[in-house]
Amino acid sequence: MTETMPETVTEATPSLGRRFGALLIDWVLCLLVAGFYADPRVVAWPPVVILILVYAVFLGFFAQTPGMRVMKLRCVDVDDNGSIGVLRGALRGFLLALVIPALIMDGQRRGLHDRAARSIVVPA
């Protein structure tokens, strides 16, 4: 499969600010949910696990997390603009939780987590 997207950032590519805003909203929601059964200040892994599960479920079925919905973004398959599925959503969430893959971006603002999951973030 060849990627049909151009190699440069276009006006349709969401800004890093919108993407970061969506991640921040998702992270706060994960901290709040994790706070019901663990203190995130003491045990650091519950919010991370919740973030991975949120990405798996929401990206897998709806192509956007709650934060992406607020920021009017979607995460879709790079080839057909469809949903990426639960497994690829979980992979993307896991790599995003590692932080470093998200910081290494190409000309389309696709981090390594996007490239591994064969996904791209687009305006909703």
The DSSP string of 41-107 is TT--HHHHHHHHHHIIIIIHHHSS-HHHHHTTEEEEETTTSS---HHHHHHHHHHHHTSHHHH-B-T
The three-class DSSP label of residue 39 is: coil
pLDDT at 10: 58
Exposed (0-12), middle (13-18) or buried (19+): which is 23, by Cβ within 10 Å?
A: middle
Per-residue pLDDT tens, the chain, 124 aa: give them: 444 444 555 557 888 899 999 999 999 999 999 999 888 788 889 999 999 999 999 999 999 999 999 999 999 999 999 999 999 999 999 999 998 888 888 888 888 999 999 999 999 8
Query: What is the Cα–Cα distance from 40 to 75, expressed in whole angstroms?
Result: 27
- CA–CA separation, 83 and 60 (whole Å): 6
Cβ neighbors of 70 (< 8 A, separation 6 or more) are 21, 22, 25
User: Taking the complete model, does pTM exceed 0.95, yes or no?
Assistant: no
Cα 63 to the center of its chain, rounded Å: 10
Amino acid letter, residue 62: F
pLDDT of residue 105: 86
